[in-house]
């Protein structure tokens, strides 16, 4: 009979064998968190496993259940059975997306994926359909919506995008609906706003990563037509007649707090991508 030490080590080895080789969802490093820890924590909602037990986030758990009920009503369904079955089939791959062993049993992990995924889909859908959100308490106060957008863009507050995509395809009532339209509100942030509805990249890990990729590609396209040498030559041909100069004035563009947080989160994604390329 194996002793307790053998059993304990075998358990650790079994967990390690299924550990992710290329995780995409991480915690922020302690060297950054120690400076401004409040910058990296969600304000009102926990998405994914890292912050789910924090007391100040528990009020939103009831809204997750309420949103799931709305989904069932819209689909004329009385049970979540088919959704739970689908999430169970994706559980192993979803766990591999996290850079650490998630201490949730199978049932709790599957429940988290379903509730969090449905909430994201329902919230973003309601945001775009004002009639659909008129009687929703979440949409009665602007600061709640602002905080939710903030929390959805936090590095530690993510679930795998495959979960969102799978649930979206199960929930949508119009076969013509596309996932791109769902994430459109997240792409309308300040200086990084995307002007045209893009196509979601084939390779995607989580919501924040997709926003990063789409905003970067949009930014690159917007300025790809600018050729400084061509502009200078055009100016020279005009004999400088159209050029005028004035005293330089230092102007610092206004960046609100939400935009600053988004830039910070996108920076984490950029840093992780660079690290992957180096190794």
Higher confidence at residue 29 or residue 198? Answer: 29
| Cα–Cα distance, 94 to 101 (Å, whole number) | 11
Q: What is the mean pLDDT of residues 204-221?
A: 67
Q: What pLDDT digit, counting tens, does each position of 114-152 carry?
A: 999 999 999 999 988 866 677 899 998 888 998 998 899
Lowest mean pLDDT among 12-16, 178-182, 219-223: 219-223
Q: What is the mean pLDDT of residues 32-37?
A: 78
Sign of CA dihedral 221, 22, 83, 70: negative
Higher confidence at residue 126 or residue 241? Answer: 126
Lowest mean pLDDT among 53-62, 110-119, 122-131, 186-195: 186-195
pLDDT value of position 226 = 53
Q: How confident is the model at residue 208 (pLDDT cuts 50, 70, 90)?
A: confident
In the chain, what percentage of residues exceed pLDDT 90?
Answer: 39
Q: How confident is the model at residue 20 (pLDDT cuts 50, 70, 90)?
A: very low
Q: What is the mean pLDDT of residues 72-99?
A: 96
**Any long-range contacts for 52-55 (C-beta under 8 Å, 24+ apart)?**
52/112
Q: Is the pLDDT at 85 greater than 90, yes or no?
A: yes
Q: What pLDDT digit, counting tens, does each position of 155-182 carry?
A: 899 999 999 999 999 999 887 788 877 8
CA distances (Å), 218 to each of 46, 75, 155, 205, 271, in order? 29, 35, 21, 19, 19
pLDDT value of position 263 = 52
Round the average pLDDT of the chain to a whole number and report it: 78
- Residue 153 CB neighbour total at 10 angstroms: 22
Phi then psi for residue 75, to 5 deg, are -90, 0
| Cα–Cα distance, 209 to 95 (Å, whole number) | 17
Q: What is the mean pLDDT of residues 226-244?
A: 50
Cβ distance 181 to 197 under 8 Å? yes
Question: The whole model's pTM is what?
Answer: 0.74
Higher confidence at residue 107 or residue 149? Answer: 107
Q: What angle do CA 6, 100, 63 make, to 5 degrees?
A: 125
Phi then psi for residue 101, to 5 deg, are -70, 120
pLDDT value of position 32 = 74
Q: How confident is the model at residue 97 (pLDDT cuts 50, 70, 90)?
A: very high
Q: Is 223 exposed, middle or buried (0-12, 13-18, 19+ CB in 10 A)?
A: exposed
């Amino acid at each position: 009979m194996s002793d307790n030490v053998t059993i304990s080590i075998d358990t650790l080895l079994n967990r390690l064998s299924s550990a992710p080789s290329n995780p995409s969802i991480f915690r922020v490093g302690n060297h950054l968190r120690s400076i401004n820890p409040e910058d990296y924590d969600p304000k009102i909602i926990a998405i994914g496993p890292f912050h789910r037990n924090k007391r100040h986030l528990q009020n939103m758990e009831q809204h997750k259940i309420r949103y799931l009920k709305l989904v069932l009503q819209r689909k004329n369904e009385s049970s979540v059975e088919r959704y739970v079955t689908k999430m169970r089939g994706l559980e192993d791959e979803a766990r591999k997306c996290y850079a650490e062993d998630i201490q949730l049993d199978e049932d709790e992990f599957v429940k988290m994926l379903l509730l969090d995924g449905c909430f994201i889909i329902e919230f973003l859908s309601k945001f775009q359909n004002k009639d659909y959100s008129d009687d929703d308490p979440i949409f009665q106060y602007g600061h709640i919506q602002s905080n939710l957008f903030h929390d959805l863009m936090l590095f530690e507050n993510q679930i795998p995008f495959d979960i969102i995509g799978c649930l979206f395809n199960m929930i949508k009532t119009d076969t013509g609906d596309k996932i791109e339209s769902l994430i459109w509100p997240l792409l309308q942030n300040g200086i990084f706003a995307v002007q045209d509805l893009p196509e979601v990249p084939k390779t995607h890990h989580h919501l924040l990563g997709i926003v990063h990729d789409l905003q970067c590609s949009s930014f690159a396209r917007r300025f790809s037509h600018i050729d400084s040498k061509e502009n200078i030559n055009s100016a020279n041909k005009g004999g400088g007649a159209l050029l005028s100069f004035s005293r330089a004035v230092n102007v610092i563009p206004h960046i609100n707090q939400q935009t600053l947080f988004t830039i910070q989160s996108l920076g984490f994604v950029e840093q992780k991508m660079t690290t992957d390329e180096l190794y």
